[in-house]
Amino acid sequence: MYIETVKKTMNLPEKVRIFDTTLRDGEQTPGVAITVDEKIRIAKKLDKLGVDTIEVGFPVSSPGERKAAREILKLDLNSSICGLARPLKKDLDAAIDCGVDYIHTFIGTSPLHREYKLKMSKEEILNKAVEGVEYIKDHGITAEFSAEDATRTEFDYLKEIYTAVEDAGADCINVPDTVGVMIPTSMNYLISELKQEINIPISVHCHDDFGLAVANSLAAVEAGAQQVHATINGLGERAGNASLEELVMALTTRYNIKTNIQTELLVDMSEFVSRITGIKMPPNKAIVGENAFAHEAGIHVHGVLQKAETYEPITPEMVGHTRRIVLGKHTGANAIRAKLDEYGIELNEEQFERVFNQVKSLGDKGKCITDADLKAMAQTVLGKA
């Protein structure tokens, strides 16, 4: 309702490309290491999911990274296969030797990165970036350029370096919010300003240090960004990157923007990555969490049983999830009746009353009532236990 009104003020693209970096930034999640075989399995699933680009790793960093890139390329997937590289010959050659069709090259541009990390001048950094992009293009490969820490870089310099790489032949510029310092309004402003200077597609890469990665990515899309970087389950350095499942569902259902993602595969993808990485999702994680479509309060359950939209913004089927009715102290009679019906258990009014009171009393003691508990209570009142 309200969103339809504000959408008229936005510069929305029709379609947004999804650049998945689960296997690169996602693998930088503290405590996560993904083997070559696991990378191959994840890449196959990402391809089925429909991501446009899979950033498979940082080839120069290890033989395993190069092996993974080579093996994934042999699969001949529909997604573009991208390797990360600094604009250094050894990095670029490592990626090129693997046979990637897409290179994401990056260099720090903010005063902090220039002074403390790179110890290079603005001009030296700009020249390196241009040389890197030219080298990639000389090899006939798609080039995406990131000004690392773009969101803490002086705007005039950012404009200058992005314009220079565009002139050098870059296919896309990416704007990383490397330490997640943006808020949606500032991200929207930055992308709107860059849109006036840059003629190639603009991408964003948002980190979640303040829990704003998805919101900031959406704000960038509102300003005309045509690609977003994301990871399954929001994995990534520190607090992670924008979560692919949240971003895609917001784009498709809130903005009506198309992506190539098969959304009904999202829960399966999330669980697969969670099993491989050992990073469990909190139950209340949006879209894919165990509780994303679970209802406990009597009023909510009553509403959902009449019409699911009363308390669900999208259907669980859209993302491959299932609706759950959970029993606890907030449970109403409707939920218990629905559960008993589901199990084919018939109780008379007096028996039902006894089960209902037991559910409430256990709930008040801070207990959650599982389906098995409910069945046992019903069997007891039926004298079958």
- Which positions from 100 through 139 interact with ligand KIV, judged by CB under 6 A? 106
106 binds, among Zn ion, ligand KIV, none (CB under 5 to 8 A by kind): ligand KIV
Out of 16, 19, 25, 113, which residue is the one contacting ligand KIV (CB under 6 A)? 25
Pattern of binders to ligand KIV over 36-75, x per CB under 6 A? ----------------------------------------
Out of 79, 178, 188, 231, which residue is the one contacting ligand KIV (CB under 6 A)? 178
Q: Are 351 and 357 in contact (CB under 8 A)?
A: no
Apex 47 CA angle, 143 and 259, nearest 5: 75
Residue 56: partners with Cβ closer than 8 Å, 6 or more residues away = 23, 24, 39, 43, 65, 68, 69, 72, 81, 82, 83, 100
Asked if 148 touches ligand KIV (CB under 6 A), the answer is yes
Out of 57, 83, 132, 176, which residue is the one contacting ligand KIV (CB under 6 A)? 176
Least Å distance, CB 58 to Zn ion, is: 11
263 binds, among ligand KIV, Zn ion, none (CB under 5 to 8 A by kind): none
Q: Are 225 and 188 in contact (CB under 8 A)?
A: no
Asked if 332 touches ligand KIV (CB under 6 A), the answer is no
* Shorter beta-carbon distance to ligand KIV: residue 53 or 263: 53
Cα–Cα nearest to 104, from 39, 41, 23, 47? 23
Asked if 205 touches ligand KIV (CB under 6 A), the answer is yes
* Shorter beta-carbon distance to ligand KIV: residue 144 or 246: 144
* Shorter beta-carbon distance to ligand KIV: residue 103 or 345: 103
Out of 25, 144, 149, 208, which residue is the one contacting Zn ion (CB under 5 A)? 25
Least Å distance, CB 146 to ligand KIV, is: 4
- Which tokens hold the place of 198? 């840059």
Determine the interface stretch with Zn ion among 24-32, 123-131, 143-151, 214-222 (rule: CB under 5 A). 24-32
Asked if 203 touches ligand KIV (CB under 6 A), the answer is no
* Shorter beta-carbon distance to Zn ion: residue 25 or 245: 25
Residue 200: partners with Cβ closer than 8 Å, 6 or more residues away = 166, 170, 171, 172, 173
Least Å distance, CB 273 to Zn ion, is: 17
153 binds, among Zn ion, ligand KIV, none (CB under 5 to 8 A by kind): none
* Shorter beta-carbon distance to ligand KIV: residue 25 or 296: 25
Q: Are 234 and 242 in contact (CB under 8 A)?
A: yes
* Shorter beta-carbon distance to Zn ion: residue 238 or 275: 238
Least Å distance, CB 131 to ligand KIV, is: 18
Distance from C-alpha of 177 to C-alpha of 174, rounded to nearest angstrom:
10
Out of 146, 153, 217, 231, which residue is the one contacting ligand KIV (CB under 6 A)? 146
**Footprint on this chain of ligand KIV (rule: CB under 6 A):** 25, 106, 146, 148, 176, 178, 205, 207
**Footprint on this chain of Zn ion (rule: CB under 5 A):** 25
